[in-house]
Structure 1
Protein backbone atom coordinates (compact mmCIF):
# COMPACT_ATOMS: atom_id res chain seq x y z
CA UNK A 1 0.00 0.00 0.00
CA UNK A 2 1.26 3.46 -0.86
CA UNK A 3 2.14 5.74 2.01
CA UNK A 4 -0.81 8.08 2.58
CA UNK A 5 1.55 11.07 2.91
CA UNK A 6 2.63 10.60 -0.70
CA UNK A 7 -0.93 10.14 -1.93
CA UNK A 8 -1.92 13.38 -0.19
CA UNK A 9 1.22 15.07 -1.54
CA UNK A 10 0.38 14.12 -5.12
CA UNK A 11 -3.24 15.18 -4.72
CA UNK A 12 -2.46 18.54 -3.12
CA UNK A 13 -0.14 19.28 -6.03
CA UNK A 14 -2.70 18.04 -8.59
CA UNK A 15 -5.60 20.08 -7.20
CA UNK A 16 -3.36 23.13 -6.67
CA UNK A 17 -2.42 23.04 -10.34
CA UNK A 18 -6.06 22.55 -11.36
CA UNK A 19 -6.81 25.76 -9.48
CA UNK A 20 -3.85 27.45 -11.24
CA UNK A 21 -2.27 28.32 -7.90
CA UNK A 22 1.34 28.66 -6.98
CA UNK A 23 2.51 27.12 -3.73
CA UNK A 24 2.64 30.63 -2.28
CA UNK A 25 -0.95 31.37 -3.30
CA UNK A 26 -2.12 28.10 -1.74
CA UNK A 27 -0.20 28.91 1.43
CA UNK A 28 -1.89 32.32 1.61
CA UNK A 29 -5.37 30.88 0.97
CA UNK A 30 -4.85 28.16 3.58
CA UNK A 31 -3.17 30.56 6.00
CA UNK A 32 -0.13 28.30 6.23
CA UNK A 33 3.53 28.93 5.59
CA UNK A 34 5.03 28.40 2.17
CA UNK A 35 7.47 25.93 3.70
CA UNK A 36 4.56 23.89 5.10
CA UNK A 37 2.98 23.62 1.65
CA UNK A 38 6.31 22.63 0.10
CA UNK A 39 6.82 19.90 2.70
CA UNK A 40 3.26 18.61 2.27
CA UNK A 41 3.73 18.39 -1.50
CA UNK A 42 6.96 16.46 -1.04
CA UNK A 43 5.30 14.05 1.39
CA UNK A 44 7.68 15.16 4.11
CA UNK A 45 5.14 16.56 6.52
CA UNK A 46 2.26 15.22 8.51
CA UNK A 47 -0.35 17.78 9.40
CA UNK A 48 -3.13 18.38 11.84
CA UNK A 49 -6.71 17.81 10.77
CA UNK A 50 -7.26 21.57 11.02
CA UNK A 51 -4.46 22.28 8.52
CA UNK A 52 -5.63 19.44 6.28
CA UNK A 53 -9.09 21.06 6.21
CA UNK A 54 -7.55 24.45 5.46
CA UNK A 55 -5.74 23.05 2.44
CA UNK A 56 -8.85 21.25 1.14
CA UNK A 57 -10.94 24.41 1.58
CA UNK A 58 -8.30 26.53 -0.13
CA UNK A 59 -8.35 24.10 -3.06
CA UNK A 60 -12.18 24.04 -3.18
CA UNK A 61 -11.89 20.27 -2.98
CA UNK A 62 -13.64 17.81 -0.66
CA UNK A 63 -11.21 16.66 1.99
CA UNK A 64 -11.74 13.01 1.11
CA UNK A 65 -10.61 13.60 -2.50
CA UNK A 66 -7.10 14.23 -1.20
CA UNK A 67 -6.99 10.70 0.22
CA UNK A 68 -7.66 8.68 -2.93
CA UNK A 69 -4.84 7.34 -5.05
CA UNK A 70 -6.64 8.32 -8.26
CA UNK A 71 -9.89 9.98 -9.31
CA UNK A 72 -11.17 6.59 -10.44
CA UNK A 73 -11.04 5.44 -6.80
CA UNK A 74 -13.48 8.13 -5.62
CA UNK A 75 -16.84 6.43 -5.04
CA UNK A 76 -19.51 7.45 -7.53
CA UNK A 77 -21.93 8.48 -4.79
CA UNK A 78 -19.30 10.83 -3.39
CA UNK A 79 -18.66 12.31 -6.84
CA UNK A 80 -22.38 12.87 -7.39
CA UNK A 81 -22.75 14.45 -3.98
CA UNK A 82 -19.84 16.79 -4.69
CA UNK A 83 -21.39 17.85 -8.01
CA UNK A 84 -24.70 18.58 -6.31
CA UNK A 85 -23.13 20.45 -3.39
CA UNK A 86 -21.36 22.86 -5.74
CA UNK A 87 -24.67 23.96 -7.30
CA UNK A 88 -27.39 26.30 -6.15
CA UNK A 89 -30.86 24.97 -5.27
CA UNK A 90 -32.33 25.54 -8.71
CA UNK A 91 -29.39 23.80 -10.44
CA UNK A 92 -29.53 20.88 -7.98
CA UNK A 93 -33.22 20.36 -8.62
CA UNK A 94 -32.63 20.45 -12.36
CA UNK A 95 -29.76 17.95 -12.17
CA UNK A 96 -31.81 15.59 -10.01
CA UNK A 97 -34.77 15.91 -12.39
CA UNK A 98 -32.49 15.04 -15.33
CA UNK A 99 -31.11 12.01 -13.50
CA UNK A 100 -34.61 10.77 -12.75
CA UNK A 101 -35.64 11.22 -16.39
CA UNK A 102 -32.53 9.42 -17.61
CA UNK A 103 -33.16 6.59 -15.17
CA UNK A 104 -36.67 6.04 -16.57
CA UNK A 105 -35.31 5.29 -20.04
CA UNK A 106 -32.15 3.50 -18.97
CA UNK A 107 -33.48 -0.05 -19.32
CA UNK A 108 -34.56 0.65 -22.89
CA UNK A 109 -31.18 2.08 -23.86
CA UNK A 110 -28.77 -0.31 -22.21
Structure 2
Protein backbone atom coordinates (compact mmCIF):
# COMPACT_ATOMS: atom_id res chain seq x y z
CA UNK A 1 0.00 0.00 0.00
CA UNK A 2 2.81 2.42 0.82
CA UNK A 3 4.41 1.74 -2.54
CA UNK A 4 1.12 2.45 -4.34
CA UNK A 5 0.72 5.69 -2.39
CA UNK A 6 4.25 6.75 -3.41
CA UNK A 7 3.39 6.01 -7.05
CA UNK A 8 0.20 8.06 -6.82
CA UNK A 9 2.03 11.00 -5.27
CA UNK A 10 4.74 10.81 -7.95
CA UNK A 11 2.08 10.79 -10.67
CA UNK A 12 0.44 13.88 -9.17
CA UNK A 13 3.79 15.67 -9.00
CA UNK A 14 4.54 14.82 -12.62
CA UNK A 15 1.18 16.20 -13.71
CA UNK A 16 1.77 19.39 -11.71
CA UNK A 17 5.32 19.81 -13.03
CA UNK A 18 4.05 19.54 -16.62
CA UNK A 19 1.80 22.58 -16.18
CA UNK A 20 3.12 25.77 -17.76
CA UNK A 21 1.09 28.89 -18.53
CA UNK A 22 2.11 31.55 -21.04
CA UNK A 23 -0.46 34.35 -21.34
CA UNK A 24 0.65 37.37 -23.38
CA UNK A 25 0.13 40.92 -22.17
CA UNK A 26 -2.58 43.17 -23.62
CA UNK A 27 -0.14 44.47 -26.21
CA UNK A 28 1.18 40.98 -26.98
CA UNK A 29 4.77 42.17 -26.54
CA UNK A 30 5.35 40.54 -23.14
CA UNK A 31 4.93 36.81 -22.49
CA UNK A 32 5.66 35.43 -19.02
CA UNK A 33 6.04 31.71 -18.35
CA UNK A 34 4.60 30.56 -15.02
CA UNK A 35 4.58 27.07 -13.46
CA UNK A 36 1.73 25.39 -11.56
CA UNK A 37 2.83 26.97 -8.27
CA UNK A 38 2.67 30.48 -9.76
CA UNK A 39 6.44 30.92 -9.95
CA UNK A 40 7.79 32.97 -12.82
CA UNK A 41 10.02 30.70 -14.91
CA UNK A 42 10.77 32.95 -17.89
CA UNK A 43 9.84 36.36 -19.28
CA UNK A 44 9.89 37.24 -22.98
CA UNK A 45 10.01 40.89 -24.05
CA UNK A 46 9.65 41.53 -27.77
CA UNK A 47 12.35 43.72 -29.32
CA UNK A 48 11.63 47.40 -28.76
CA UNK A 49 9.21 46.79 -25.87
CA UNK A 50 11.20 48.82 -23.34
CA UNK A 51 11.45 51.77 -25.75
CA UNK A 52 7.72 51.65 -26.53
CA UNK A 53 6.52 51.94 -22.91
CA UNK A 54 7.39 54.21 -20.02
CA UNK A 55 8.60 52.65 -16.77
CA UNK A 56 5.19 52.60 -15.12
CA UNK A 57 3.39 51.29 -18.23
CA UNK A 58 6.00 48.57 -18.73
CA UNK A 59 5.70 47.45 -15.12
CA UNK A 60 1.89 47.40 -15.36
CA UNK A 61 2.03 45.31 -18.57
CA UNK A 62 4.44 42.81 -17.00
CA UNK A 63 2.47 42.48 -13.76
CA UNK A 64 -0.86 42.08 -15.60
CA UNK A 65 0.58 39.41 -17.91
CA UNK A 66 2.05 37.51 -14.96
CA UNK A 67 -1.27 37.68 -13.08
CA UNK A 68 -3.15 36.29 -16.11
CA UNK A 69 -0.58 33.51 -16.49
CA UNK A 70 -0.91 32.59 -12.81
CA UNK A 71 -4.70 32.36 -13.18
CA UNK A 72 -4.29 30.17 -16.26
CA UNK A 73 -1.84 27.90 -14.42
CA UNK A 74 -4.34 27.56 -11.54
CA UNK A 75 -7.10 26.58 -13.98
CA UNK A 76 -4.83 24.03 -15.65
CA UNK A 77 -3.88 22.62 -12.23
CA UNK A 78 -7.53 22.25 -11.18
CA UNK A 79 -8.40 20.52 -14.44
CA UNK A 80 -5.39 18.19 -14.29
CA UNK A 81 -5.93 17.19 -10.66
CA UNK A 82 -9.70 16.76 -10.88
CA UNK A 83 -9.88 14.94 -14.22
CA UNK A 84 -11.76 11.66 -13.59
CA UNK A 85 -9.54 9.89 -16.13
CA UNK A 86 -6.50 10.50 -13.90
CA UNK A 87 -8.04 9.05 -10.76
CA UNK A 88 -6.61 5.67 -9.72
CA UNK A 89 -8.78 2.81 -8.57
CA UNK A 90 -9.74 3.12 -4.90
CA UNK A 91 -7.68 1.03 -2.48
CA UNK A 92 -10.82 -0.57 -1.05
CA UNK A 93 -11.87 -1.85 -4.49
CA UNK A 94 -8.45 -3.38 -5.17
CA UNK A 95 -8.36 -5.04 -1.74
CA UNK A 96 -11.91 -6.46 -2.15
CA UNK A 97 -10.89 -8.05 -5.43
CA UNK A 98 -7.73 -9.45 -3.86
CA UNK A 99 -9.59 -10.93 -0.89
CA UNK A 100 -12.27 -12.42 -3.15
CA UNK A 101 -9.65 -14.21 -5.28
CA UNK A 102 -8.60 -17.83 -4.82
CA UNK A 103 -6.64 -18.72 -1.67
CA UNK A 104 -3.68 -19.98 -3.73
CA UNK A 105 -3.20 -16.56 -5.32
CA UNK A 106 -2.86 -14.56 -2.07
CA UNK A 107 0.16 -12.47 -2.91
CA UNK A 108 -0.38 -8.82 -1.99
CA UNK A 109 -1.58 -6.75 -4.96
CA UNK A 110 1.03 -4.56 -6.65
CA UNK A 111 -1.48 -2.38 -8.54
CA UNK A 112 0.13 -3.27 -11.87
CA UNK A 113 3.40 -1.40 -11.24
CA UNK A 114 6.86 -2.82 -10.86
CA UNK A 115 8.44 -2.53 -7.45
CA UNK A 116 11.01 0.23 -7.06
Task: Report if TM-score (shorter chain) is over 0.5.
Answer: no
Normalized per residue, which structure has more strand? Answer: 2
Larger radius of gyration: 2
The interval holding the TM-score normalised by the smaller chain is under 0.3
Normalized per residue, which structure has more helix? Answer: 1
TM-score, normalised by the number of residues in structure 1: 0.24
